[in-house]
Amino acid sequence: QETLAQTVLTKVVKSQSWLLATHVVPNDFVIFCWLPFEVPDDVVAHAEALMERVRHLDHRFVLRVRVPAAPGSLFPARFACNHHLRKAYARTVSESEVTAYGSDEDTDDDAACTWDITWSWDWDLADFAAAQEECVAGLSAECVDAGMAVISGDG
């Protein structure tokens, strides 16, 4: 029960980080868990209740838990047998790490844009091309400075 809950929480927290970093805003984001074997119904019910609590914070997430028709064909022999080792080294994730969608933490709209793709669109490209041709032969400091003066509009 705890393993599935940790898997779900870890996937949600990592997915929120990815969504924030990539500025992707889906309506539904499926957290899909293939299980290596049938689990008791109360384990699945616990995971679904957890996802409902998550959905109160971030409505985009949906949980799908499935067991393949032939689990051996998807999971190799002894899959997940070393859970006790992974648990000893794993970082646990708590529900408090789930960010409320739309909160200040997941929006950086107020941050200033530090670059502008429209800079120097008013360059005279003919002047820039001429300066570049003059510099091709020698690349002296004077040529580089002259080219930069054309780019900056000082030349």
Instruction: Say what the pTM is.
Output: 0.57
pLDDT in tens, 1-44: 888 999 999 999 999 999 999 999 999 999 999 888 889 999 99
Write down the pLDDT at residue 76. 74
- pLDDT of res. 150: 43
- Alpha-carbon gap, residue 36 to 79, rounded angstroms: 7
pLDDT at position 123 is 54
pLDDT in tens, 116-142: 455 455 556 566 566 656 555 455 445
The model's pLDDT over 95-114, given as tens digits with 9 standing for 90+, comes to: 888 989 875 444 445 444 45
Kindly state the helix (H) or strand (E) to which residue 76 belongs, with its residue range. Answer: none
